[in-house]
């Protein structure tokens, strides 16, 4: 299968030519790396690290939540990380950043790829109940302006035989109208910037964001089984996401940090 490389020059020009992408300071594309998240975390102290974007044609040690691996053939996915500083934010509100990123990915895929994407709480992106993208946010530094690196792994052209797990999918398998990775990156970044700027300008108030998230979350209304640390499980109907981004299951509320796995009957 022919898998063309990302057009790094076009992406860099977009920072100047596209107003919606002027939010980002620079975009780097590398052929291979262990983890784009780890690379940006290591660079977090640099003066030009804020709003930096790093993409890799292949990741050797990509990872998701709870250290799960995220691997694909070269040029078959988008492996992207970006670094933002959230000045003046309360630590409790930081949990909304990966959820906001999930909303941005869903909206970009709906608009650009023409697929019916939605969210599985907290921030997996699904098409027809199968995972097409994962998101991992990691705090790179604390202090008054915490730096957070957000990684997105999006399956673009993987075949059935190349999928990492049976419940995954790719844009190609889902019949997406656009699978050009450069165009998809531009759309993903534009949606992220739009959502992030609105959240920042609202003083990190998630009131508007939570409504948008609820509209895109397929977990709500579904019967779920949450696996908790220590072998405990919680079963019930997922009824809501609260202002802190936590999931309500029946009369119980769980945070993303509390749940090691969530199964939902979509």
Query: Model-level pTM?
Result: 0.94
Question: What pLDDT digit, counting tens, does each position of 152-186 carry?
Answer: 999 999 999 999 888 999 999 999 999 999 999 99
Within 8 A by CB and 6+ apart from 34, the residues are 59, 60, 61
Four-residue CA torsion sign, 13, 184, 114, 212: negative
pLDDT tens, residue by residue, 141-153: 755 588 999 999 9
Q: What is the pLDDT of residue 47?
A: 83
Q: How far apart are CA 58 and CA 103, in angstroms?
A: 24
Q: What is the mean pLDDT of residues 256-263?
A: 89
What pLDDT sits at residue 231?
86
Q: How confident is the model at residue 35 (pLDDT cuts 50, 70, 90)?
A: very high
The predicted-structure confidence for 113-127, as pLDDT tens digits, reads as follows 999 999 999 999 999
Half-sphere exposure for 47 (CA within 13 Å, toward CB): 0
pLDDT at res. 63: 54
For residues 61 and 71, what is the distance between their CA atoms, to the nearest angstrom?
7
The yes-or-no verdict on residue 65 having pLDDT over 60 is no
pLDDT, average across residues 234-244? 96
- Rounded Cα–Cα distance for residues 200 and 237 (Å): 32
Mean pLDDT of all residues belonging to the chain: 93
């Amino acid at each position: 299968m022919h898998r063309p490389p990302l057009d790094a020059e076009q992406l860099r020009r977009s920072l100047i030519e596209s107003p919606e992408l002027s939010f980002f300071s620079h975009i780097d594309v590398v052929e291979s790396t262990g983890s784009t998240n780890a690379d940006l975390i290591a660079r977090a102290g640099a003066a030009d690290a804020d709003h930096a974007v790093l993409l890799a044609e292949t990741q050797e040690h990509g990872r998701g939540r709870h250290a799960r691996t995220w691997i694909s053939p070269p040029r078959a996915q988008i492996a992207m990380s970006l670094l933002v500083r959230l000045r003046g934010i309360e630590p409790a509100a930081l949990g909304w950043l990966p959820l906001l990123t999930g909303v941005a990915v869903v909206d970009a895929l709906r608009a650009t790829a023409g697929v019916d994407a939605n969210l599985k709480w907290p921030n997996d992106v699904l098409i027809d109940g199968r995972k097409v993208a994962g998101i991992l946010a990691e705090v790179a530094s604390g202090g008054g302006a915490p730096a957070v690196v957000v990684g997105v792994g999006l399956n673009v052209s993987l075949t059935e035989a190349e999928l990492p797990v049976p419940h995954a999918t790719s844009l190609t398998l889902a019949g997406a109208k656009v699978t050009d990775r450069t165009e998809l990156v531009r759309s993903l970044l534009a949606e992220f910037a739009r959502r992030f700027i609105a959240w920042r300008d609202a003083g990190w108030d998630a009131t508007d964001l939570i409504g948008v998230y609820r509209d895109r979350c397929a977990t709500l209304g579904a019967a779920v089984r949450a696996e908790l640390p220590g072998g405990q499980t919680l079963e019930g109907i997922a009824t809501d996401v609260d202002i802190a981004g936590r999931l309500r299951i029946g009369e119980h509320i769980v945070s993303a940090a509390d749940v090691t796995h969530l199964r939902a009957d979509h």
